[in-house]
Amino acid sequence: MEAHAVTSHNRGSDLALRWTTLFYLGVMVVLPMVTLCVQAASPGIEPFWRALSDPYAWHALKLTFLTAFVMVVINAVTGTATAWVLVRYDFPGRSLVNALIDLPFAVPTVVTGLMLVVLYGPSSAIGTVLGRFGWGVIYQQPGIVLALLFVSYPFVIRSVQPVLMELDRAEEEAAATLGAGAWTTFRRVTLPVLWPSILTGSGLSFSRALGEFGSVVMVAGNHPLLTKTAPLHIYGEIESGNRHAALVVSSVLLASSLLILLGLNALQRWGGVNHGD
Amino acid sequence: MATDLGVDQTKLQSRALNLGQAVRPSSLGRWLLTGAVLGWFAILILVPSLALVRQVAVGGLKPFLLALARPEVQRAFGMSLGITALATVVNTIFGIGLALVLTRQRFWGRALVDGVVDLPFAISPIVAGLMLIVLYGPEGWLGRWLEPHGVRVVYAVPGMILATMFVTVPFVVRELVPVLRELGEEYEQAAHTLGAGRWRTFWSVTLPSIRWGVAYGVTLTVARSLGEFGAVLVVSGNVIGHTQTATLYIEEGVESFHPEGAYAASLVLAAISFILLVGMDFVRKHLEGGRENRP
């Protein structure tokens, strides 16, 4: 009798907890998102398309995807190499480096941008030397890629590292015993196992790069049709009162990030099936 | 694979005998790769950080302290700390609750909720701010109803708190879900069988077991809240001394060409994030240690 009473009381508290937390999530996350999508779509397809095909909006989106893509290619290679070195090799200061990998997650993005301006800006030593050759980093497109590389540095590393640590090395040793060189072993034996985690890390960093604002606003210098990425463009449209234009570009960014998230989810499920768990 | 079968027997034997060396011949490659990875890390992450330290150091200690003593800087840091404290407390309580719901309860649509939690990670801070304007602004769905009652959300402090809360919703939940899953329900059920109520079970069984996970999530939330810029910028109106956080102050300082204060505030924020990072490393070791000790 008493046990039964306890369970039914618990069911009540379970439901209360569930509905409170779901209500919070709904008000905090779902409601603002739905509002944004409805407001972006409500004037209809034609105004949506007109806002999207505005040359400034279109260029901003193109630049955002291009810089994010360049960043992801570089980060996929360097991130995998870094994870490899951190897991497989021992060198002095390894645990220190391993702890500092997350620094970009902890440093505010504005501070990141300011650091890059201080180091590479037109009045810095490096900037002066580069300027003599007619090159520039800050207030130019390479600066955007640099900022994105900084803020998304940990994603691939932190995604690949646990997989490398759990990896059974017997297959690699077998390949080496059979005469395969280090590179061949990596390419034919290790890499196929690492692919899902490299893709996951790359997808997360790409999604992060699409939305990055704080560091980019500091290094990009806000030149329309040159260094204005989509988040910068959205901010400009909000400031100048073009609410609908801002909403349209925002919904494109939002949809792209959601697609990436869904893709990663499917990838994980597929990987899980493939490994039989 | 077919080509590997052609390896002659003697080569195979010599390889097998020198297995220790079979891994070693690439020691030159190993050093090159380690050097390249560390060099990239130094150029990308360390050198810019040191450049900021140097920039402030060149100015000297006195101007640095004077810049920090300015009332608008102090107010900006006070604002950042207040917003961070509020967002962290709310999201920690909510995060523990939602992580418990996601791991201990079965209900229709759980996978969907699990996905929704991650959404703030996928949304640009600027877009997050815009969402809040659309919802709580003077013409917004909720704002239209709130403003006549004298509740101002957007272009005021409540909006900045909401923006910070929005971007930090996932951290505690994401850290706790795997920890709770790994912990299992046995201990909780045992406590329950021994007559402990839900609340008692939570305080004396669940919370002590997940405390390092909570600590990790809280550290991430604090770091992100202190550093949040885009979402807060959009909803703040950036009124100096009133709705200006530390990050907004830095941007304003650079934009208006009096960067000394911005450098000083940046160095302080960078130092705080470094301390948080050391804390994260400490907490992570405890998390992993706990995992190994468990059978």
A179 and B11 Cβ atoms separated by less than 8 Å: yes
Nearest C-alpha of chain B: how many angstroms from A157? 11
Average pLDDT value for residue range B77-83: 95
Per-residue pLDDT tens over the stretch B149-162: 888 888 889 999 99
> pLDDT above 90 covers what percent of chain B?
48
Chain B residue nearest residue A27, CA to CA? B166
Q: What is the pLDDT along chain A (277 residues), one digit of tens a residue?
A: 344 444 445 678 888 999 999 999 999 999 999 999 999 988 888 989 998 889 999 999 999 999 999 999 999 999 999 999 999 998 888 989 998 999 998 999 999 999 999 999 888 888 888 888 878 888 888 899 999 999 999 999 999 999 999 888 888 888 888 887 888 888 888 888 899 999 999 999 999 999 999 999 999 877 888 889 999 999 999 988 888 999 999 999 999 999 998 898 888 877 665 554 3
Residue A31's Cβ-count burial label (10 Å; 0-12, 13-18, 19+) is middle
The predicted structure's pLDDT at residue B240 = 62
**B window 195-214, beta carbon within 8 A of A:** 197-198
- CB count within 10 Å of CB A192 equals 9
Of the partner residues B118, B122, B135, the one whose CB lies closest to the CB of residue A32: B135
Q: Hey, of B15, B56, B107, B124, which one would you mutate to test binding to chain A, going by the most A CBs within 10 A of its CB?
A: B124
**Does B81 touch chain A if contact means CB atoms closer than 8 Å?**
no
CA distance A226 to chain B (A): 19
Average pLDDT value for residue range B101-115: 89
Among B40, B45, B113, B245, the strongest candidate for a mutation testing the A interface, having the largest count of A CBs within 10 A, is B45
Contact B117 A218 (CB under 8 A): no
Give residue A160's pLDDT. Answer: 94
For B123, which of A102, A104, A254 is closest by C-beta distance?
Answer: A254
**Residue matched to tokens 């600027």:** B126
Hey, are the CB atoms on B250 and A110 less than 8 Å from each other? yes
The residue extents of the domains of chain B are: 20-58, 60-292
Residues A85, B33: C-beta atoms closer than 8 Å: yes
Position B6 confidence tier, pLDDT thresholds 50, 70, 90: very low
In terms of Cβ atoms closer than 10 Å to its own Cβ (0-12, 13-18, 19+), residue B199 is exposed
Among B24, B55, B108, B126, the residue to mutate for chain A (most A Cβ within 10 A): B126
CA torsion sign for A227, A231, A234, A240 is negative
Residue A174 carries which side chain, given as an amino acid letter?
Answer: A
Superfamily covering domain B60-292: MetI-like (1.10.3720.10)
Q: What is the largest CA-CA distance in chain B?
A: 89
- Judge whether B4 is closer than 8 Å to chain A, CB to CB: yes
Question: Could you identify the residue written with the tokens 């490659």?
Answer: B29
Residues 6+ apart with CB under 8 A from A226: A140, A141
Contacts of A180 (CB under 8 A, 6+ apart): A188, A189, B4
Report helix angle A141-151 to A55-88, nearest 10: 40
- Distance (Å, whole) CA A190 – CA A166: 12
Q: Which residues from chain B sit within 8 angstroms of residue A116, using beta carbons?
A: 48
Q: Residue B58: pLDDT above 80?
A: yes
Q: How far is B204 from chain A (nearest CA, A)?
A: 17
Q: Which residues of A fall within a CB distance of 8 Å from B233?
A: 235
Question: Residue A205 and residue A159: Cα distance in Å, rounded?
Answer: 11
Provide, as residue numbers in chain A, all residues whose Cβ is less than 8 Å from the Cβ of B15: 176-179
Helices (H), chain A: 2-25, 31-41, 45-52, 55-88, 94-100, 103-106, 109-120, 125-132, 141-151, 153-166, 170-177, 182-185, 191-211, 214-220, 230-239, 243-274
* Amino acid found at A18: R
pLDDT of residue A10: 62
Measured CA to CA, the distance from residue B201 to residue B188 in angstroms comes to 6
| ipTM score assigned to the predicted complex | 0.89
pLDDT at B290: 64
Q: How many CB atoms neighbour CB A141 within 10 A?
A: 18
Q: Is A231 helix (H, G, I), strand (E, B) or coil?
A: helix
**Which of 110-139 (B) contact A at CB < 8 A?**
113, 115-135
HSE-CB of B115 using CA atoms within 13 angstroms = 14
Contacts of B169 in chain A (CB under 8 A): 25, 28-29
What is the token pair recorded at A178? Answer: 């059979």
A107 phi and psi angles, rounded to 5 deg: -75, 130
Count Cα atoms within 13 angstroms, Cβ side, for B185.
10
Q: Do B127 and A260 touch (CB under 8 A)?
A: no
Report the greatest alpha carbon distance in chain A. 87
Q: What is the pLDDT of residues B198-241, one digit of tens each?
A: 888 888 888 898 999 999 999 999 999 999 999 999 998 766 66
Answer yes or no: is pLDDT of B90 > 60: yes
Contact B126 A210 (CB under 8 A): no
For residue B60, give both structure tokens: 């000297």
3 state DSSP class of A75: helix
Record: contact A108-B269, CB cut-off 8 A: yes
